[in-house]
Structure 1
Amino acid sequence: MTLPKRIFASLDATSGTADVLLPEDLQPLPKLPVPELERTLERYLEALRPLLDEASLERARAAVRAFGAAGGAGPRLQDALLARREALDNWAYEWWLADMYLANPLPLPVNSSPGMVFPPRSFRSAHDQAQFAARFLRCLLDHKDVLDCKALPVERATSREKGQPLCMAQFYRLLGHCRTPGAPRDALHDHAARSHHVAVVCRNQFYAVPVREEPSGARLSERELCAQLMHVLREAPSLPPAPPLGLLTAQRRDVWAAHRHLLLQDEQNRASLEQLESSLLLVCLDEPLPASFNSRTLRESRPEVARGHQVAGRDETNMAHQMLHGGGSALNGANRWFDKTVQVVVSSDGACGLCYEHSPAEGVAVVQLMEQALAGCADLPPAPSEPPCAPPHLPPPRRLLWRPDAALREALQRAGQHLDGLVEDLDFYVYRYAGYGKEFIKSSKVSPDAYIQLALQLAYFKLNRRLVATYESASTRRFRLGRVDCIRSATPEALQWVTAMCQDEDDGTQPSGKRVTFSLYDEKKKLELFDAAIKKQTEIMVDNILGQGIDIHLLGLREMAKELGEPLPEIFSDESYKIANHFSLSTSQVATATDSFMGYGPVVPDGYGASYNPRSDTITFCLSAFHSCQTTSTWKFAHSLEESLNRMQQLVGNRQ
C-alpha cells in the first residue's frame, strides 16, 4: 500500500538526500524504464476524459499536442530522462520520494501515516501487557538479525512474468529509520547498523531500552525485555507529568523543523532527541481510548456489518483512531514520535497495533513484518504470577529528560490544539461488508481487486453522479528501488458502466444542469460494459507493474524541466493537470493473513480514503473523510458501497 501524492505537495522540491541502498547492495534487477512519450500522452488524455467537460478537455488536448510536438518541450525532456536513466539506479526514485512525502509540509498523523489494528489481546494486568510487548519485540529483533546478515529471502512475482525477482530494498528500511523535518524538505536517516536500543514511551515519558548487553553485545532475552518494560510501566505513572514532547512531531513539517532547531540548542534536549531518533523502533504503552471516543461518527446510522473485534466495549473504529493519531493531546497523542517508521502500540486494555511513517516503505513490507511478529506471539504462555525483575547486571531503562523553555512550552500547547483539531475533523469508519468476499468474486472469474475498484467507482457515482481522479497503488518492485505508480481507476469504460448501472436512479440531469437522454441498458449490456471496465482496469494495472505507468513518467518530465531551468510546460500548468492529481478517492488493497487491517486518512480536503482487505467471505473497508467537508460522509459512502456490492452480485449472478 501507498498513499497518493497530495495536492499540497510542493512542486519546487530540489535535489536532496534519499535513503537508498548503495549500488553494490542492489539486487541484479532491471532499471525502471522510461515509457514512450507518445503513449504516455495518449493515455493521459484518456485518463482525463471521465473528469473534464468538453471545453476543458479540448484545452488539455491542445496543451498535450504542443508538449509532444517535434519542436515542443516533450521530446527534449524525454531525451534528458533517458540519459538520467543511464546514470542512476532508478531515475525516478528521488523525485518521487520528494513529491510523495519529503516535500509535503502537512502533519504526518491523519494526512500521511497509516494505522494498523491487530486482533486485540486479553490483558489481565500490566505484566500481561509487558509480556506481549516483550515477545513482539523479540520477534522484531529476530527479524533484525536476518536483515543484518542480508539474509532476507528475495520475493518473486506471482503473475505477469511469474518468478521474476522483486526489489527488497524497502524491507531493509523499517527498523532503525527515522524521518526528520527540514526545509525545503524532510530527510530520511538510517540508524539500523549502529542502533542497539529501542525507545519506549508510557504516560508521555520516553525511555531508551538497550536490546544488547554491554560490553558482550549479547541480545537481551524475552524475559529481560519484559523486566525492562515492567520497570517503565511501574515508574512512569508515579512520576510528575512529563512535557508532551511527542506532540511536536504531529505539527506541520516546517513548524516542527523550527521547533526541532530550538530543541537542539540545549545539550540535554539534544541528547534525548538523538536517543529517540536513532532507536530501532518505538514501543507505545498506551492507555485505552474511552468507548465513547468515536461518538460523533457513531451518532450516524450505519449499514449492517459483519461483527468485528471488540475490547472493553470499544469497536474496531475506535481502535483504529488510537493507532492513527492516539486520540489527541488529552489521551495518547503525545505518547508517539510520529517521525519513527515503526511505532508499535500496546494498550493496557489489549488493543494493539501500529502507526507507521510511510516514506521509507509500502504497506506490504510493514504488514509482512507485523504479521510475522504476531505469529510469534500466537503461543504466548500465561504470564507468571510474579513479574520478572531485571537481573542485577542489567541497568534499568534510561529515562529521556527534557528542558523545554517558554517558547517550546508555548509550541507544545499550540501543537496539542492543532492535533486535537485534526482528530476532531477525522471521519473514520471500519466497515466490514458481510455479503460475500473474494471467494465469490473469484468464482465469477473476476479479479477481486479490479472488482472492488469498480465497486468503489459505483459507490462514488451513486452519491455524486460523476467520477473523480482515483488513486490505486501498483507496485513497481520488479525494478531497482521500485516503489509504486498509480492505477487510475476512473476510466471511460468505468464511467459507461456506472452510468448504465444507475440509469433507473437518474432523472437525466447532470451536475452541470444539462439534461441528457440515456438509452435503457438491459442486464446483458450492463455485463458487457462491466467486462470492458474490468478489462481496462486490468490493462492499466499490468502497464503499471511493468513500469509503463503514466504518473511517474509525467512527474519525471515535469521535474526534468525544472532541473534544466526551463519554464514549466503548459501541460503541467493547465487546470486539467491539477484536476487529474486531485485524488478524491485514495484507494489501496491491504491484504493480511491475520484478522488485522490498515487504514489512513483522505489525501484531499474533499476526498475519501478507502483501503480494503478482501477475505474469503467478507471485505473489510477502512473509510475516511473529513467532517469539515459538507460533501463527504463515510456512513453515506458505506451505505452506497453496500448497495453497489449487492447490486454487482446480482449482475454477475445473471451470467452464471
Structure 2
Amino acid sequence: MAEAHQAVAFQFTVTPEGIDLQLSHQALTEIYLSGMRSWKKRIIRLKNSVITGVYPASPSSWLFVVIAILATMYTRSDPSMGLIAKIQEHLPVSTQCQVVLSAVLFSTMLWLLLIFTMRLCLKQLLSYHRWMFEQHGKMSTTTKVWVALVRIFSGRKPLLYSYQGSLPNLPVPTIKDTVKRYLESVRPLMDDAKFERMTKLATEFESSLGNRLQWYLKLKALWASNYVSDWWEEYVYLRGRGPIMVNSNYYGMDFLYVIPTPIQAARAGNSIHAFFLYRRKLNKEEIKPVSTVIPLCAAQCERIFNTTRIPGEENGKELYMYTHLDRHIDTLSMYTVQHWQDSDYIVVYHRGRYFRLRVYQAGRLLSPREIEFQIQRILDDPTPPCKGEAKLGALTAGDRIPWAKARAKYFSSGVNKRSLDCIERAAFFVTLDDDEQCVMGDDSAASLDRYAKSLLHGKCYDRWFDKSFSVVYYKNGKKGINGEHSWADAPVVAHLWEYTLATDSFQLGYNAEGHCKGEVDASLPRPQKLNWEILPEEQISQSLAVAQALADDVDFHVFPFQDFGKGKIKKCRVSPDAFIQMALQLAYYRERGTFCLTYEASMTRLFREGRTETVRSCSNESSAFVRALEGGEVRPQKLRLFRAASEKHQLLYRLAMTGAGIDRHLFCLYVVSKYLGVESPFLKEVLSEPWRLSTSQTPIQQVELFDMVNHPEYISCGGGFGPVADDGYGLSYCILGENLINFHISCKHSCPDTDAHKFGAQIRKALHDLIKLLSPIEKEPNKTEEKKMEVKKEL
C-alpha cells in the first residue's frame, strides 16, 4: 500500500473527539517541489520567448540603443528629428522625467523597428535558394555575398526556435509549371494513347478549373504560415480510418552489431534518462537549430513528448462530395501545449500489465541507476494482468472507428478513464519485451528481418501505437523505437534517437557488471500498476485479428551493403542519393519488366512549418538509361545517359526542397475542389495513381556524436516502414560512413509479384553493375610491363 499513501497529500478520519487530520509531509514536499519545477519552466520559457521574439537582435541591444540615444541628446543633437519632443508633450509626468522617459520610449520604438528590419532582411535572405542549383565546388560571387550577409543577419548563439519568425512561407507554384512537370513525370509510365488522353485532361484543367482552384490556394498561402501542412496532417494522416500500425507508423533500430549491456533494465535506465535529458534541452531550447546551409524549421519538435493521437469517430463538419475523405478524423492531444508542466512519468508495458513510472523525485530527474532499479521492480513484479488488460494495446493497432467507439463507451469515466489518461499524458511509452533480438551469429540476415518486424508491429498489442513514440527494450539489452507519423516526420524522431544512442553509450556508460553507474535511493516509491474495469474484450479480439492479419502479411528484408559506400560513389563524381535511386530503378525494371511511379521523400523545412514533398525519381532520363543498360548499348552511351539521369534526379530533388514540387500542390488543389464541391477528372486520376515504389533516405544528422572511423560498429542500422501499395515496395536506406549502406525493404506476402528478398538481391546486383559502369577500366599490363614488375619483385 506504499504507493497508495504517496497518492494523496493528506488523510483524515472522523472520531468521537472530532476530525483527526494527518498531513503527509513527503507528499506536500513533492507538491511544493513539483510546483517550483513548473515555475522554473515558465520562467525559462518566458525568457526564451523574449530572446526568440527579438532575434536576430538580443535583449541587451535595447540598452545599447537607449544609451546611444541619451548620449546624443547630451551632445545637443536630436537623432529623432523632433519625435522625442512630440512624445514629451503627451507624457503626464514631471518635467525632469519627461526627457529621459521620452528618450527611452523613442529608443524602444527605434529598437523594435531595427529588429523588424533585420528580420525582414533575414527572411529575404533565407528565401534565396539559387545556391542549391550551383555546381558542387563552384560558388558564384552572388552566393558568396549571400553567405556573408546571412552570417551578419543571423546573430549569435541562436536558440532552437530563433529562426522561426524569419523563415519564408512555402510558395505556391504556378498551375502551368506543375502541370508541365507532372506530364513529364508520367511520360515513361504511359503508352502514347494513355499519355495523349492525360495530356488532354491536364490541358482542360489548366485552362478552366485549375485557375479557380489556384486563386483559393493563393488566398490561403497569404493567410496561413504554410498552405500545405495543416491539410496534409489532417487528410493524409488523421483522416485515415485503417490501422496506423504498418500503414503509417515507422521504426528505428539500435546499433548494428553492438549491445552496450546485456541487462534489459540497465539499458532502459540509461536510455530513459537520456530521453529526459533531451527533453530538458528541448524545453530550454538549447538544441542547436538543424541546418543545411541555412536553418530548417523546428516547429515539429514542439510535439515530440507528451503527445498522443486520439481516435475520432467524426469531426462534426460536413465536407460535401468527398470521395475518400469522409467525416471521421483523429486528433492530436498535445499536453505539452495545454499544460505548463510536462509529464514527469512514463508508462511501461510488461507481460500484459501497464505501470506508471515517475522519473522525477523531490524535483530532480532520477539517475540512470535509479531508473534501472525501478525498471527491475517492474520486471520482478508477479502481479497478473487485469481481465482483458494483456492485449488492450491491440485497440490502437486495429481500425480507428472501432477504437473510437470503444474509447467513448468504456473509457469515458471511472478507473478506465484515469488509466487511459495516464497513458495518453505520459511523456512517451515503453515496452519491456520478453523476446531477444540480435544481429550477430550465423543467422544474422534472418535475425535482422525479425528485428525489423518486431519494431514495426511487435505482437500487435504490446505497443501503444497512438503515442508520439514508443521505445522497446528487449530481454538481451537490444532496443528500438516505433514512431507515430501524423505529428512529425522521421528526421525529427531520428534526431532524438541519435542523441539518446550516443548519450547512452558514450556519456552515461555502464559499470563492469553492465549496470548503470551511480547510487540508488531505496526509498523510491514503487511504480504504480494501472487498473482497469470491464474492458471490451470482444472489440479487443476483433482489433487484434485485423492487426494480426496485417502484420502476418508483411514481408521484410533488412541488409547492410558493405561492398562499397558513398566514398567510392563520390569518387565517380555522382551524388550518392542519385546513384542509389538509379540502382532502385534498374532493380525494379529487372524484376518487373516495367517502370512504376516512384516516391522519394524530400523535406521542405527550408520553409516555415514545412514537412515533405515528393521527388518523382522515375523520369524520362532514368528510364532511358535503364533501357540502354539492359539493351546492351556501348559504354560511352550508357555513361552519358547515366550522367543525364543522375543530374535530372538532383534537379528534381532541389526543386522539391525549394517549393517547386508537384504532388503537394496537386493535393491541395484537390482538397480545394472538394470544399467547393466540384469534380476534376484530372485531379481525381492523379491522386488515385499508386506509388508502387515508395523510398526514403534516413540521413545521419549529428555525425559529431559518433566515431564512424574508429568505432564503425557503434552506428544505428537506420529504420524503415511498411509498403504503401499492396503490390509495391516500401524501401528505406541509410548511408553510413564511407563504406556502408543499410537497406530496409518491405512488401506483402499476399502479392505474388513482390518478394522483399528477391528485390534485395536485385538491388545488390544493380549497385555492383552501376559502380562497374562508372569505375575507370583498368588496362591489362603488356609483356614489357610484366617483365619490369618481375624484375622489381626479384630485387
Letter in 2 for 1:189: S
Letter in 2 for 1:602: P
Letter in 1 for 2:636: K
From 343, 347, 358, give the equivalent of 2:485: 358
Query: Is 1:174–2:301 an aligned residue pair?
Result: no
Q: Deviations over 1:331-375 (max 9, x none)?
A: xx3221000111111101222111111122222121121111111
Q: Which residue of 2 aligns with 1:278?
A: 425
Q: Which residue of 1 aligns with 2:647?
A: 535
Q: Which residue of 2 aligns with 1:578?
A: 688
Q: Which residue of 1 aligns with 2:695?
A: 587
Equivalent pair of 2:386/2:532 in contact (CA under 8 Å) = no
Q: Which residue of 2 aligns with 1:5?
A: none
2: CA distance, partners of 1:500 / 1:614 = 27
Larger relative contact order (CA 8 Å, sep ≥ 6): 1
Judged with a 3 Å threshold, the aligned counterparts in structure 2 of structure 1 residues 123 and 539 are, in CA distance, closer, same or farther, namely closer
2: CA distance, partners of 1:141 / 1:420 = 33
Q: Which residue of 1 aligns with 2:279?
A: 144
Q: CA deviation at 1:135?
A: 0.9
Q: Alignment identity in percent?
A: 31
Q: CA deviation at 1:488?
A: 0.5
Judged with a 3 Å threshold, the aligned counterparts in structure 2 of structure 1 residues 112 and 315 are, in CA distance, closer, same or farther, namely same
Equivalent pair of 1:203/1:237 in contact (CA under 8 Å) = no
Equivalent pair of 2:565/2:740 in contact (CA under 8 Å) = yes
Q: Map of 1:213-252 to 2, 5 A cutoff?
A: 213=361, 216-235=362-381, 242-252=389-399
Judged with a 3 Å threshold, the aligned counterparts in structure 2 of structure 1 residues 66 and 190 are, in CA distance, closer, same or farther, namely same
Q: CA deviation at 1:432?
A: 2.0
Comparing 73-82 with 628-637, which one deviates more in the overlay?
A: 73-82
Q: Map of 1:202-351 to 2, 5 A cutoff?
A: 202-213=350-361, 216-235=362-381, 242-288=389-435, 309=440, 315-326=447-458, 328=459, 333-351=460-478
Q: Deviations over 1:74-97 (max 9, x none)?
A: 112112111111111111111111
2: CA distance, partners of 1:655 / 1:557 = 51
Q: CA deviation at 1:243?
A: 3.1
Q: Which residue of 1 aligns with 2:680?
A: 569
Judged with a 3 Å threshold, the aligned counterparts in structure 2 of structure 1 residues 239 and 99 are, in CA distance, closer, same or farther, namely closer
Q: CA RMSD in A?
A: 2.4
Q: Which residue of 2 aligns with 1:3?
A: none
Q: Which residue of 2 aligns with 1:7?
A: none
From 150, 174, 177, give the equivalent of 1:39: 177
Q: Which residue of 1 aligns with 2:348?
A: 200
Q: Which runs of 5+ in 2 are unaligned?
A: 1-48, 54-160, 315-327, 704-714, 779-795
Query: Is 1:601–2:705 an aligned residue pair?
Result: no
Q: Deviations over 1:38-61 (max 9, x none)?
A: 111100111111222222211211
Corresponding residue SS for 2:366: coil
Letter in 2 for 1:360: W
Query: Is 1:368–2:368 an aligned residue pair?
Result: no
Equivalent pair of 1:311/1:349 in contact (CA under 8 Å) = no
Equivalent pair of 2:600/2:616 in contact (CA under 8 Å) = yes
Letter in 2 for 1:412: I
Comparing 628-637 with 315-324, which one deviates more in the overlay?
A: 315-324
Q: Deviations over 1:423-462 (max 9, x none)?
A: 2111100022232111111111100001101110110001
Equivalent pair of 1:154/1:165 in contact (CA under 8 Å) = yes
Equivalent pair of 1:123/1:348 in contact (CA under 8 Å) = no
From 428, 441, 446, give the equivalent of 2:574: 446
2: CA distance, partners of 1:573 / 1:190 = 34
Q: Which runs of 5+ in 1 are unaligned?
A: 1-21, 292-307, 505-520
Judged with a 3 Å threshold, the aligned counterparts in structure 2 of structure 1 residues 570 and 358 are, in CA distance, closer, same or farther, namely same
Q: Choose 1 or 2 for highest CA Rg.
A: 2
Corresponding residue SS for 1:49: helix
Corresponding residue SS for 1:283: strand
Corresponding residue SS for 1:535: helix
Q: Map of 1:119-138 to 2, 5 A cutoff?
A: 119=255, 122=259, 128-138=263-273
Q: Which residue of 1 aligns with 2:329?
A: 185
2: CA distance, partners of 1:237 / 1:442 = 57
Equivalent pair of 1:27/1:167 in contact (CA under 8 Å) = no
2: CA distance, partners of 1:395 / 1:487 = 52
1: CA distance, partners of 2:233 / 2:684 = 21
Q: CA deviation at 1:390?
A: 6.7
Q: Map of 1:419-568 to 2, 5 A cutoff?
A: 419-504=547-632, 521-563=633-675, 565-568=676-679
Judged with a 3 Å threshold, the aligned counterparts in structure 2 of structure 1 residues 98 and 117 are, in CA distance, closer, same or farther, namely same
Q: CA deviation at 1:496?
A: 0.7
Q: CA deviation at 1:553?
A: 0.7
Letter in 2 for 1:145: R
2: CA distance, partners of 1:253 / 1:416 = 12
Equivalent pair of 2:399/2:543 in contact (CA under 8 Å) = no
Q: Deviations over 1:608-654 (max 9, x none)?
A: 01101123223211011000001101111112111111111111114
Corresponding residue SS for 1:251: coil
TM-score, length of structure 1 as denominator length: 0.84
Q: CA deviation at 1:212?
A: 2.0
Judged with a 3 Å threshold, the aligned counterparts in structure 2 of structure 1 residues 121 and 343 are, in CA distance, closer, same or farther, namely farther
Equivalent pair of 1:205/1:236 in contact (CA under 8 Å) = no
Equivalent pair of 2:561/2:743 in contact (CA under 8 Å) = yes
Q: CA deviation at 1:584?
A: 0.4
Letter in 2 for 1:282: F
Corresponding residue SS for 1:442: helix
Judged with a 3 Å threshold, the aligned counterparts in structure 2 of structure 1 residues 655 and 577 are, in CA distance, closer, same or farther, namely farther
